[in-house]
Structure 1
Amino acid sequence: MNIVKSTPLGIYEKALPGLPDWLGTFRLIAECGYEFLELSVDESEERIERLYWDRQQKKAFLDASVATETPVLSMCLSAHRKYPLGSDSAAVRQKGLDLLARAIQFSVDTGIRVIQLAGYDVYYEAGNEKTRQLYEDSMNQALAWAGKANVTLAIENMDHPFLNSVTKIMQYVERYQSPMLQVYPDIGNLTAWNLNVREELKQGTSHIVGIHVKDTVEQVFRRIDFGQGTVNFSQAFKALHDMSYQGPFVIEMWSDHAADSKEKIIRAREWVQARLKQAGYTVAERRN
């Protein structure tokens, strides 16, 4: 495996079928030709529980990653849907901060570089000026923790109007002026909002630390097969290449425990790599 000279392409955990142990999961990732995993810590109690793992559980996870030469470069921390950092409830907001503190420590313990944060002040409640201010206060605390741990927090543009564009996220990046706060664009979400993908990517030029790759149609943000949506991947990848972006790409898809999930994620990799290559990126087949 050559993770330095070729374009790093990873897979979002939810694309994978549920397997009984981490060693099997990491082996599957390697067999499907991906170079790294993006771990999911969503709002389900099962995945939130990961942030409470003891040393032995973290070691087993890390050992499986090392044994298969498949690192975990990023964590998708979408648990803040349930426990948003801008919630009007002090208890909910504190829970969200506690989860973020635990996610930072988890990253330190397992070698994760980037925690991707969903761009929400709140999700299941109505946002307003107060929730936005509470979100900003929470981010101040989060960045203090992240700085001490040397873990990068990166905001993703989401299916929510609060931070649905790179332009909006950059307002926060510029406000905080912290090297620990960066941008994680999702080109599918940008397309679903009918935004100019090329111009949005340019807004984050020197602050992009990861790219979510998925297909979408207008206002439909999930579960569109590659090639069936309206995302102009060739244009997006060319824009990134012209910007000299050399960071990781992550294929975001959902298996829903499909019987042919392995074949689907292999096809997705091949489909995306072909377009990355057309844009000028160096693509190498992983050999195990």
Structure 2
Amino acid sequence: MKFAFSSNAFTNYSLIDSTKLISQVGYTGIEIMCDVPHAYPANFTDKMLQELKSMLEENKLEISNLNAFTLFALGDTYHPSWIEKNQDKREQRINHTIDCINLAYQLGAKNISVEPGGPLLPSENLSKEKALQFFRQGIESVLPVAEKKQIKILIEPEPGLLIENSRQFLEFMKNFDSKYLRLNFDIGHFYCVNEDPSTLISDLREYIEHFHMADIKDRVHYHLIPGLGTIDFKQVFKAIKDISFDGYITVELYPYKDKPLEAATTSFNYLQNLDH
């Protein structure tokens, strides 16, 4: 199995320093946060691009994924989302996603992950049907770019958002027939909505391109260092091996911004013991 660590735990560090540290721990991959303060495409100059490519090569790190989920540069974790009532805000999300696709192409990355629509806010009085329509239209706007650049867009279901479980994901995917729209399988997210990740891995195998990993305690959505929660990762890893998955599993621990190196190291040691 191939393990990566997400730079979104290292927001107190530059992306270059994050790359060095993640490599020193022993990971062979890095997930890059396409947002401030790391690789927000609108601010990411050619010089920064070349410096990152050199640093990745020097540290023998592959890119597991470009994380295009958050958008703190323009709003917050979720906003502007795909399902804003305001069309200009939806366009901001669409344009950002296209920028992330282009950045992935420049970096030689294979995929980007995106939020599953966004949160349905009672204050906006938006029906679920209309929100799904907005999300579908947004994906339709970016998918031709992804197909042209051969970059896969990975939808990441999350508790409390428009698409939060496997049934909703599969229903949404009926709108599309493209190998460039797939799934970022977040183990903890599915666990939080009372689904069994071990079973789902087989059920969703044709869509899975990348895994996010963090532990969860008692199905409460808070990312913990693997081993500190209640997910049975032995069973999960067995299921991953059973489908002959050869991509990356990225540990995503953004709550550990104050001690990311410790979190990355503890997780890596846990994974080495678990995978043997």
Task: State the TM-score, normalizing by the size of structure 1.
Answer: 0.85
> Is the 2:117–2:131 contact (alpha carbons within 8 Å) kept by the matching residues of 1?
no
Match of 2:153 in 1: 153
Mapping for residues 118-157 of structure 1, pairs under 5 Å: 118-122=115-119, 127-128=126-127, 129-157=129-157
Quote how far apart the aligned CAs of 1:11 are: 0.2
1:77 aligns with 2:68: yes
Query: What residue identity is the alignment partner of 1:35?
Result: T
Match of 1:28 in 2: 21
Quote how far apart the aligned CAs of 1:200 are: 1.9
Quote how far apart the aligned CAs of 1:72 are: 1.9
Match of 1:242 in 2: 242
Q: What is the CA deviation profile of residues 162-199 of structure 1, one whole-angstrom value per residue up to 9, with x for unaligned ones?
A: 21123322333343010100111111111112212223
SS at match of 2:12: coil
Match of 1:13 in 2: 7
SS at match of 1:249: strand
Match of 1:38 in 2: 31
Unaligned runs of 5+ in 2: 72-77
**Alpha-carbon distance change, 219 to 79 in structure 1, aligned in 2, over 3 angstroms:** same
Find the aligned partners of 2:37 and 2:195 in 1 and give their Cα distance. Answer: 35
Query: What residue identity is the alignment partner of 1:256?
Result: K
Quote how far apart the aligned CAs of 1:86 are: 1.9
Quote how far apart the aligned CAs of 1:158 are: 0.8
Q: What is the CA deviation profile of residues 109-148 of structure 1, one whole-angstrom value per residue up to 9, with x for unaligned ones?
A: 1112110112134455565221210111111111111101
SS at match of 1:183: strand
Find the aligned partners of 1:231 and 1:221 in 2 and give their Cα distance. Answer: 12
**Alpha-carbon distance change, 205 to 21 in structure 1, aligned in 2, over 3 angstroms:** closer
> Is the 1:13–1:38 contact (alpha carbons within 8 Å) kept by the matching residues of 2?
yes
Match of 2:262 in 1: 263
Find the aligned partners of 2:14 and 2:252 in 1 and give their Cα distance. Answer: 22
> Is the 1:167–1:203 contact (alpha carbons within 8 Å) kept by the matching residues of 2?
no
Query: What residue identity is the alignment partner of 2:195?
Result: L
**Alpha-carbon distance change, 71 to 198 in structure 1, aligned in 2, over 3 angstroms:** closer
Mapping for residues 49-198 of structure 1, pairs under 5 Å: 49-79=40-70, 81-122=78-119, 127-128=126-127, 129-198=129-198
Query: What residue identity is the alignment partner of 2:52?
Result: F
Task: State the TM-score, normalizing by the size of structure 2.
Answer: 0.88
Query: What residue identity is the alignment partner of 2:65?
Result: S
> Is the 1:166–1:201 contact (alpha carbons within 8 Å) kept by the matching residues of 2?
no
Size of the aligned set, in residue pairs, is: 266
SS at match of 1:170: helix
SS at match of 2:275: helix
**Alpha-carbon distance change, 69 to 221 in structure 1, aligned in 2, over 3 angstroms:** same
Match of 2:75 in 1: none
Query: What residue identity is the alignment partner of 1:27?
Result: K
Q: Which moved more, 1:48-57 or 1:85-94?
A: 48-57
Query: What residue identity is the alignment partner of 1:36?
Result: G
Find the aligned partners of 2:133 and 2:103 in 1 and give their Cα distance. Answer: 27
Query: What residue identity is the alignment partner of 2:25?
Result: C
> Is the 2:7–2:15 contact (alpha carbons within 8 Å) kept by the matching residues of 1?
no
> Is the 1:154–1:182 contact (alpha carbons within 8 Å) kept by the matching residues of 2?
yes
Unaligned runs of 5+ in 1: 1-6, 278-288
- Share of identical aligned residues, percent? 17
